[in-house]
Structure 1
Amino acid sequence: MTAEELPRIGLGTWQNDDPEQCAESVRTALEMGYRHVDTARFYENEAAVGEGIAAADVPREDVFLASKLHPMAEGLAYDEVYDGIEESLSLLGVDALDLVYVHWPVGNYDAAETLSAFADLVDDGLARHVGVSNFDVELLDEALGELDVPLFANQVERHPMLPREELVAHAQEHDYYLVAYSPLGRGDALELPAVETVAEKHGVSPAQVCLAWATHPENVVAIPKATGADHLEDNLGAADLQLDPEDVERIDAVDRRERFVDREGAPWK
């Protein structure tokens, strides 16, 4: 296991783009017990996320804050990486990120140049850890060969309709986190018969079952998006749900395959 433990359930903020709602949901989540908050420059909500963190009755040092730099927005050339993180830090109102990701391996992403800049962000105290997002095994192996600091995480879409077994195995083999985004499959996974059956068995919500399944392997955490207090609380409750082996097998047997997040130039194209 990596040296620093991430909570099984964190807070995703993609499409949480109403500033007032975003700030309030971040504040509520932190005061409820969340300790991992994920955002990105591309989400255009870093200022609101920072407001929520500042408003919460939780010390900044207790919050694991992650953001991402996007190749088609900030750019990922060496100087662009530094310009991008300086802007993110300013918007978030913090001195450093706990984790900074390469958002997509497209555009002007270049493993040697980009990852050299990311490693230097750590050396310069602007970020504590480096991650990548939407990388496949080939790109992960390339990144591991180029990085002068440990790879902390790979953030990818993972839910019962897109299990990503090869990426889970790679994360475990190389001792970094797989961070699962869209772990509820845009809500479609909640209606899978296997998920509903397991939820009824344990007397919990289908969302809790999806999140418990997504995070049952070692080194895997999830960052579901939620805004209302009820959904935030329900998602967080998944951290205490342990599925039985037969529950995991039932959901593993789901044969529907669907990807909800896609773009031109993605590694799977």
Structure 2
Amino acid sequence: MSASSIAPCPSCPPCSPGHRCAVYSSSSLTDEQWAVLEPLLPPPGNTTGRGGRPEKYCRRLILDAVLYVVRGGIAWRQLPVEFPPASTVYGIFARWVHAGVWRRIHDALRDRLRVRSGRDRCPTAAIIDSQTVPGADTVPRSRRGWDGGKRTNGVKRHVAVDVTGLLLGVVVTAASIQDRDAAHRLLAALRGSFSTIRLIWADGGYPGRLLGWAKSVLALRVEIIKRRPGSTGFHVRPRVWVVERTFGWIVKHRRCVRAYENRPDHHEAVIHIAMIGVMIRRLART
């Protein structure tokens, strides 16, 4: 990934005259995207000149660096020299994971897209599925597992999306965890975030006690979308194709092709950042 041009950054603090930001065509924020994203960021640590040092690097450049890592799949230490130091970028990434910033930005963008498409901000139905990805050597053994069906040693992402494919929730587990077991955590988190959801669509990997538990405890009706009788190989199934398309959006970001993060919450944040990149491009086009 090479820089297409170098331009002054309009968001750089006045204390850094002449600072120039790298513009990478596949990951850097455009002016329209930054205008959408900037109001959603948390307030700086020093806004009144008291209580700590002012921020040294402009936030737009920090976000460009994070998006560069997620889109390009590189290690943090391999950030180009045009960006702030890797330790600074990763420190802000981790601090915002702990504070829930990435999730709040993601949810705000998702709500805006739903309203723009004529839907209510809160969905009434969702589709759930899982995706197994191999784990890199940075993922400790205690956080990975063997998925016998996919013959993969790594982690599993359990996601819930709305009927348009926008992400509603994600839970990352070891790949050895069965879908129906992880679905308890996913559905509980979904119910905690959305009191309006009543119907869940899922594929054949979620049978058994999950259906009764979801109905009696969470007031959720789980409808299983089964394969056509006698069918072999891949075929498009109603509703399930929506979440499969969302997985396709996510793995276009190379950091999401494999599991590199050694913490599940960091992995979940990377998925949120990937979807932020997808949504902000849509919002900036209008």
TM-score by length of 2: 0.26
Structure whose alpha-carbon radius of gyration is higher? 2
TM-score by length of 1: 0.27
